[in-house]
């Protein structure tokens, strides 16, 4: 808008001729000042006109030099601004313009609700403040700065989100073997943002404890496998968005029972190995010299299946249950103890092992000192 100054002033003027033969009159210096602002005067004259310019008691129209208004929207507000329900919203948007621009705010083309949104503006920025955000505060806010006929606008998209509701319903579609097929529907309330997945849990009727079987699952149906035969199960499904998992879950009304019938274990058919074996001495008897009155032992080892029957003989005569001798056979280790041998207990001792598949013997010499001398020609 042009403004008018009155009072005495002296001007130094410069005239220049344009191509349209009009004269351009421009103030270059004066004693005219107002709030340190500079002003511009433009008049048109024709060649030959006399100029008699006197400012005494003369109204002079002028226009202030205008700095066009501009909203300096921060980078993070150029995209959708997401906040949770209950969060405090405090957005500062700087702007430029001279003289001071007039700042106005709207939401979806309508005036703001002063009870919900507080606007504070200075010479350089404007602040949008919401003490506790609600989902109804979501929408497109528009900030407008205006100087005279010049204006600039900037939209701000605000999205207030919260946890989603549970799926609308869930049911058991089928049960077979150790598997259960589930189907469910999307939640009625998505928390004002898209659903990112679902969490599926199972519970055995005996314990009632819930265990997660699927996480971040995107489909509206799933198959739960590896269930235990004879148990009865219930299932529940949670919704999930960028805020987290829903507080409640949709639970199946019916139960799934994993039946025992129709399952029979058939062991593999293996050919039985034949372990039959004829007796065989793995350690033979060794000749033994002993002293009269001191007990001694003869040792050998044998194997065979079925377990061989062991018999001890002295000079080809079966010893039997003679208390002079003690016979032991444990895990194939056979021993014959000669208790306090006398002068007539020396001779050839034989161990015989016998089962259904054969018979084998092993022998050794047991001699006393006088026997040793007679064998070697001593007196």
What is the per-residue pLDDT for 101? 93
Measured distance CA(23)–CA(49) in Å, rounded: 10
Residue 259 has a pLDDT of 85
CB 99 within 8 A of CB 147: yes
pTM of the complete model = 0.51
Q: How far is the C-alpha of 145 from the C-alpha of 123, rounded, in Å? A: 11
**For the purposes of burial, counting CB atoms within 10 Å of the CB of 3, is it exposed (0-12), middle (13-18) or buried (19 or more)?**
exposed
Q: What are the residue ranges of CATH 2.60.40.10 in the chain?
A: 69-161, 170-257, 277-375
277-375, which class in CATH?
mainly beta
Record the tokens describing residue 364, joined without a space: 């050794």
Q: What topology is assigned to 170-257 in CATH?
A: Immunoglobulin-like (2.60.40)
From CA 288, how far away is CA 335, in angstroms rounded? 13
- Which stretch of DSSP H or E encloses residue 197? strand 197-204
Residue 125, burial from CB neighbour count under 10 angstroms (0-12, 13-18, 19+): middle
The overall average pLDDT reported for the chain is 83
Domain 69-161: CATH superfamily, name plus number: Immunoglobulins (2.60.40.10)
> Is 256 in contact with 175 (CB distance < 8 Å)?
yes
Residue 3's SS3 state is strand
End-to-end C-alpha distance for the chain, whole angstroms = 159
Per-residue pLDDT in tens (0 to 9) along the chain, 379 residues = 444 343 333 344 444 333 343 434 444 333 343 333 334 444 444 445 445 545 444 444 544 546 899 999 999 999 999 999 999 999 999 999 988 999 999 999 899 999 999 999 999 999 999 999 999 999 999 999 999 889 999 999 999 999 999 999 999 999 998 899 999 999 999 999 999 999 999 999 999 999 999 999 999 999 999 999 889 999 999 999 999 999 999 999 999 998 876 667 788 888 888 889 999 999 999 998 888 889 999 999 999 999 999 999 999 999 988 889 999 999 999 999 999 998 888 899 999 999 999 999 999 999 887 654 444 444 4
pLDDT in tens, 96-149: 998 899 999 999 989 999 999 999 999 999 999 999 999 999 999 999 999 988
């Amino acid at each position: 808008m042009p403004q008018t100054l009155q009072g005495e002033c002296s001007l130094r003027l410069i005239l220049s001729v344009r191509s349209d033969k009009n004269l351009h009159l421009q103030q270059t210096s004066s004693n005219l000042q107002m709030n340190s602002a500079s002003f511009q005067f433009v008049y048109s004259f024709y060649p030959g006109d006399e100029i008699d310019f006197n400012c005494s008691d003369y109204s002079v129209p002028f226009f202030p030099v205008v700095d066009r208004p501009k909203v300096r929207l921060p980078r993070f507000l150029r995209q959708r601004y997401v906040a949770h329900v209950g969060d405090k919203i405090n957005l500062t948007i700087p702007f430029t313009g001279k003289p001071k621009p007039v700042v106005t705010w709207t939401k979806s083309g309508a005036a703001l609700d002063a009870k919900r949104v507080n606007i504070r503006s200075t010479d350089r920025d404007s602040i949008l403040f919401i003490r506790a955000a609600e989902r109804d505060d979501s929408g497109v806010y528009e900030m407008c700065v205006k100087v005279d006929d010049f204006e600039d606008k900037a939209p701000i998209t605000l999205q207030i989100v919260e946890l989603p509701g549970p799926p609308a319903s869930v049911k058991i579609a089928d049960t077979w073997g150790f598997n259960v097929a589930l189907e469910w529907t999307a939640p009625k309330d998505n928390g004002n943002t898209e659903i990112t997945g679902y969490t599926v849990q199972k519970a055995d009727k005996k314990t009632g404890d819930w265990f997660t079987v699927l996480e971040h699952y995107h489909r509206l149906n799933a198959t739960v496998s590896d269930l235990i035969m004879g148990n009865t199960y219930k299932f529940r499904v949670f919704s999930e968005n960028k805020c987290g998992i829903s507080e409640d879950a949709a639970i199946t009304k019916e139960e799934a029972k994993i039946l025992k019938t129709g399952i029979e274990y058939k062991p593999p058919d293996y050919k039985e190995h034949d372990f039959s074996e004829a007796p065989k001495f793995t350690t033979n008897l060794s000749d033994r010299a002993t002293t009269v009155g001191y007990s001694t032992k003869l040792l050998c080892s044998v194997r065979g299946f079925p377990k061989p029957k062991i018999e001890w003989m002295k000079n080809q005569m079966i010893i039997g249950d003679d208390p002079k001798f003690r016979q032991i056979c444990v895990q194939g280790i056979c021993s014959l103890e000669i208790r306090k041998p006398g002068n007539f207990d020396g001779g050839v001792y034989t161990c015989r092992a016998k089962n259904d598949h054969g018979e084998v013997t092993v022998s050794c010499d047991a001699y006393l000192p006088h026997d040793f001398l007679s064998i070697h020609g001593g007196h």
